[in-house]
């Protein structure tokens, strides 16, 4: 059994690592408090020692809500330089983590380039790498699945989505759904199990996955292969059966000092979101919760960064720790740079609004500074304080002659005479 | 005292009007039930008989959540044809009501053209018309304020924002705020009161306002002149003092059979939204609540349609009945057609998500139809079901060769091999 070389092992041994010191400083919490949360599994710091340019980030209880950007080429679209440009955009607009979900040609070199360009924690779904060289997932062996986990760990990936909780026994529960399985990794795993009539290889060989994770300090992001793909399928027996298995796997990982977070839905009606979060936290013993959206309606393709941000805000407020962004291209195609920007800002709004609602220390300071800048008509200061200064400046200047209003105590929306703040401040 | 020629008077006399029949049919509720809700003031149908092309709409308890689009020229920007084009776009993308907030030249003819183009209930803020001909609101007399209410009532306006609840006594409560008064009508009213050291003219002469409203069945939208303009100022003494006055005015209006709704904030942290809605409903005796946003953070200029849609979703879920949209240009300048579209769809998402969460009958049917179309890879059907079919089609076709994928059982996001729904459906 591999000895764990992980943040969790260090924390449980009472050690405060350099990574913990950085995170504690960034979060404004005591290193000892952070260490104890890591020891309990309530906070993770995905920090693969092979990711040499990493600036470590903490996820979980007591930390600021984080946002992940998914990127990566598809089988047909994009290339290495496109994806490195996306990493740069993700960092510019404030992503806390990046997942490379590349599929198709050259994905090893794409991943290498992304890791080198990315000081943020980097995640992958090793299943995509495993299935890449074959035309049907059914052709893969258990060794193939494990080998990609190991290769990507050696390459410097910090966290990995592993769909180990989706069992053969769960598959009949999917039959009553409208949209079946909508997780890419989940659907591939399900197909493999059906063709071979065997158990999930990541579940059966979870100890070997843990060996790799313990050696390289890979944080396992236990995937929700059965997350609902539409409102109708939310909170169903399939989803919760898998969640129960994720709870078991969490304990197994912790017994090996492997860091774990849990992935969650998906598409969920507003009134089920808080219950979903609370159930996850209970079933998975307080492990950090990483949600995709959730999307609160199915009828807004082209605007799913908004349907997702609404659900994410509620999820984060209810206790989710880490938000995976959704872009306007969701359900329609591969996002480009502008889609990434729109999706990321929407989710930064969600994270920030929830930090404020949770009373996170100092979370509202920047809002108050913005309020002061607005009342003083300090336009440049407003742009500086904006989540997306370029966009704020561009929109302000969209109206003819607006730049010359830059020094004015009003904007083109109301004009001088009707400006409420101007009139409010008149003596 | 003018005899009330209003939906409320009819309802209280036990009559079911043609407008009630239309609304009952559109909402799928019994006409008798609707009539009783109108009699109690819990539902309003803003329907000025002079608005001859009106398709009546109901707002309030038991009805679908509605969305308003603000439009109108500013002092410096836009013209009549631009604004009529905005009305058409608002209707195309599903606005339930339209407010003409025009200021500057030609606003009477702009308003006339908008009314003629608009079968949706139309609202205004008569204060803007009153102040238009003068360079300082302080030059206006009480008669000037009342005359514009009367003129616009005769012209066919269905509902009017009247800032009658902002009293002279409330003004000192604003001093501790970061952004003072951010309501245009509120700030103008405050300035008039300060210069003349007199009480709010709409408050002092509320009986005369009610005379006009009773005669023309103007639904009064009692304005929140002291709504918070930043998170810091939310739920403060100023806001709630005005709300108490709005509660008094509601009773006065109802005593005259005048329909009333109440306007609400503004900028509100997530965790205060539900309490705000519940307090309004209690203080204002169940009158329909019309919220502007609320925005859940101050730091996202350029994206305030999203910060607003997040707050609006929560407000609607907690009981708000009518959502005033916010566009990406909020705080930056006058919205154009594309901003209107983006703001409106964001708020239709909010309204729809809340209808689903509240268990509104049949609210999820369209989502389920979308889920079925997705699982069947019926792309054209997906576009038809989308809140914005043009946008969905455009984004899907953005990726090269996507149109030829229109017949395919996958899209450019994952490609064929990785497509979860495709793999999930494989036997």
Please indicate if any CB of chain B lies within 8 Å of the CB of A91.
no
To the nearest 10°, the Cα dihedral for B410, A326, A26, A223?
A: -50
Q: How much is the pLDDT for A410?
A: 75
Chain A contact present for B336, CB below 8 A: yes
Q: Which residues contact B251 (CB under 8 A, 6 or more apart)?
A: B285
**A93 close to A388: Cβ distance less than 8 angstroms:** yes
Which residues of chain A have a pLDDT value below 70?
A: 1, 400-407, 427
Q: Helix or strand or coil: residue A368?
A: helix
CA distance A83 to B331: 34
* pLDDT 10s digits, A124-174: 999 999 999 999 999 999 999 999 999 999 999 999 999 999 999 999 999
Q: What is the pLDDT of residue B421?
A: 84
Q: For chain B, positions 226-255, list CB contacts with chain A under 8 A.
A: 229-233
How confident is the model over A23-81, as pLDDT tens digits? 999 999 999 999 999 999 999 999 999 999 999 999 999 999 999 999 998 877 777 78
Chain-chain contact of B187 with A333 (C-beta, under 8 angstroms): no
Span between the terminal Cα atoms of chain B, in Å? 76
pLDDT of residue A170: 98
What is the nearest CA distance from A341 to chain B, expressed in angstroms?
Answer: 11
Nearest Cβ partner of A179 from B269, B374, B418? B374
B333–A399: do the CB atoms touch at under 8 Å? yes
Q: Mark which residues 3-62 of B lie under 8 Å from A by CB.
A: none
- CA distance to A33, A38, A284, A305, B364, per residue, from A295 (Å): 34, 30, 22, 8, 13
Find the angle CA(A157)-CA(A196)-CA(A187) to the nearest 5 degrees.
Answer: 50
**CA distance linking residue A16 with residue A30, whole number of Å:** 11
Give the CATH H-level superfamily of domain B7-357: Radical SAM ThiC family, central domain (3.20.20.540)
Residue the block writes with tokens 């409903």: B281
Determine contact: B376 vs chain A, CB below 8 A: no
Residue A102: list chain B partners with CB under 8 A.
none
Cross-chain Cβ contact B329/A395 below 8 Å: yes
| C-alpha closest to that of B200 among B158, B124, B290, B137 | B137
H-only helix segments in B217-322: 237-255, 270-283, 304-318
What are the chain A neighbours of B183 within 8 Å (beta carbons)?
Answer: 420
Query: In A150-173, which positions are buried (b, 16+ CB within 10 angstroms) versus exposed (e)?
Result: bbbbebbbbbbbbbbbbbbebbeb
Between chains, do A421 and B181 touch, taking CB under 8 Å as contact?
yes
Across the interface, whether the CB atoms of A401 and B356 are under 8 A apart is answered no
Distance CA A367, CA B326 (A): 18
Query: How far, in Å, are A73, A108, A130, A150, B140 from residue A126 at the CA level?
Result: 15, 11, 6, 9, 71
Identify the pLDDT of residue B404.
58
Q: Which whole-number Å values give the CA distances from A251 to A3, A255, A261, A284, A285, in the listed order?
A: 17, 6, 12, 8, 8
> Which of the 8 DSSP states describes residue A392?
H
A188 contacts B367? CB cut-off 8 A: no
Q: Residue B75's pLDDT is what?
A: 76
pTM: 0.97
Positions of chain B with pLDDT under 50:
none
Asked whether the beta carbons of residue B179 and residue A421 sit closer than 8 angstroms, the reply is: yes
Dist. CA B311–CA B341, nearest whole Å: 19
| Sequence-distant (≥ 6) Cβ neighbours of residue A69 within 8 angstroms | A86, A90, A95, A97, A98, A99, A325, A340, A343, A344
Tell me the three state secondary structure of residue B124: strand
CA distance A317 to A313: 6
* Cross-chain Cβ contact B229/A391 below 8 Å: no
Mutate to test the interface with A, among B75, B175, B301, B394 (most CBs of A within 10 A): B301
**How many interchain CB pairs under 8 A, A with B?**
372
User: Which residues in chain B are contacts of A388 at CB distance < 8 A?
Assistant: 300, 302-303
Please name the residue of chain B whose CA is at the shortest distance from the CA of residue A411.
B333
Best residue in B77, B274, B353 for a mutation probing chain A (most A CBs within 10 Å):
B353
Query: A54: distance to nearest CA of chain B, Å?
Result: 28
> What value does the mean pLDDT of chain B take?
95
Inter-chain residue contact B232 with A190, CB threshold 8 Å: no
Q: A382, B301: Cβ pair inside 8 Å?
A: yes
* Burial zone of A361 (CB within 10 Å; 0-12 exposed, 13-18 middle, 19+ buried): exposed
- Of all residues in chain A, the one with the smallest CA distance to B228 is A371
CA distance A11 to A35: 5
pLDDT at A183: 95
CB atoms A310 and B350 under 8 Å: yes
A382 φ/ψ angles, rounded to the nearest 5 degrees: -60, -45
Candidates B270, B344, B403, B421: best to mutate against A (most CBs of A within 10 A) is B270
Q: Where in chain A is the domain with CATH 3.20.20.540?
A: 7-357
- What residues 195-224 of chain B have any CB closer than 8 A to a CB of chain A? none
Strands A260-264 and A159-162, sheet pairing: unpaired
What residue in B sits closest to A272 (Cα-Cα)?
B357
B76–A420 C-beta distance less than 8 A: no
Closest chain A residue to B308, measured at CA = A310
> What is the reported pLDDT for B419?
85
In DSSP terms, B260 is beta-bridged to B220
pLDDT score for B403: 60
Surface of B (116-175) touching A: CB under 8 A:
128, 131, 135, 137, 174
Do residue A398 and residue B131 have CB atoms under 8 angstroms apart? no
CB B217 within 8 A of CB B49: yes
Which ipTM score applies to this complex? 0.96
CA distance linking residue A4 with residue B205, whole number of Å: 78
Helix (H) or strand (E) segment spanning residue B263: strand B260-264
């Amino acid at each position: 059994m591999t000895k764990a070389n992980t943040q969790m092992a260090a924390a449980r041994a009472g050690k405060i690592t350099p990574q913990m010191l950085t995170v504690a400083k960034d979060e404004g919490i005591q290193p000892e408090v952070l260490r104890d949360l890591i020891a309990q599994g309530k906070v993770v710091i995905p920090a693969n020692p092979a990711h040499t340019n990493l600036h470590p980030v903490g996820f979980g209880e007591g930390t600021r809500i984080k946002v992940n950007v998914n990127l990566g080429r598809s089988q047909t679209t994009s290339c290495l330089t496109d994806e490195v440009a996306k990493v740069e955009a993700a960092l510019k607009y404030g992503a806390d983590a990046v997942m490379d979900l590349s599929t198709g040609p050259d994905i090893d070199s794409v991943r290498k380039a992304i890791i080198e360009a990315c000081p943020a924690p980097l995640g992958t779904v090793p299943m995509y790498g495993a299935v890449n060289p074959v035309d049907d997932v059914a052709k893969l062996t258990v060794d193939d699945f494990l080998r990609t986990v190991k290769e990507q760990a050696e390459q410097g990936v910090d966290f990995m989505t592993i769909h180990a909780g989706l069992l053969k026994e769960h598959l009949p529960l999917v039959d009553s759904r409208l949209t079946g399985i909508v997780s890419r990794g989940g659907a591939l795993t399900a197909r493999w199990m059906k063709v071979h009539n065997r158990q999930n290889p990541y579940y059966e060989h979870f100890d070997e996955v843990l060996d790799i994770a313990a050696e390289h300090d890979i944080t396992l992001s236990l995937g929700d292969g059965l997350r609902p793909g539409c409102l109708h399928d939310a909170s169903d027996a399939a989803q919760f059966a898998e969640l129960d298995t994720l709870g078991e796997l969490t304990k197994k990982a912790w017994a090996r000092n492997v860091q774990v977070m849990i992935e969650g839905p998906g598409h969920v009606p507003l009134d089920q979101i808080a219950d979903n979060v609370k159930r996850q936290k209970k079933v998975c013993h307080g492990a950090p919760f990483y949600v995709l959206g959730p999307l609160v309606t199915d009828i807004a393709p082209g605007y799913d960064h908004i349907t997702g941000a609404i659900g994410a805000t509620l999820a984060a407020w209810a206790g989710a720790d880490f938000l995976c962004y959704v872009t306007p291209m969701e359900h329609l195609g591969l996002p480009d740079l502008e889609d990434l920007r729109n999706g990321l800002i929407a989710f930064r709004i969600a994270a920030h609004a929830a930090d404020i609602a949770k009373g996170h220390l100092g979370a509202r300071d920047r809002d108050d500074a913005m309020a002061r800048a607005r009342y003083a008509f300090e336009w440049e200061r407003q742009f500086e304080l904006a989540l997306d200064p370029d966009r704020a400046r561009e929109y302000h200047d969209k109206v003819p002659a607006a730049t010359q209003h830059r020094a004015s105590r009003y904007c083109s929306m109301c004009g001088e005479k009707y400006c409420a703040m101007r009139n409010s401040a008149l003596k």
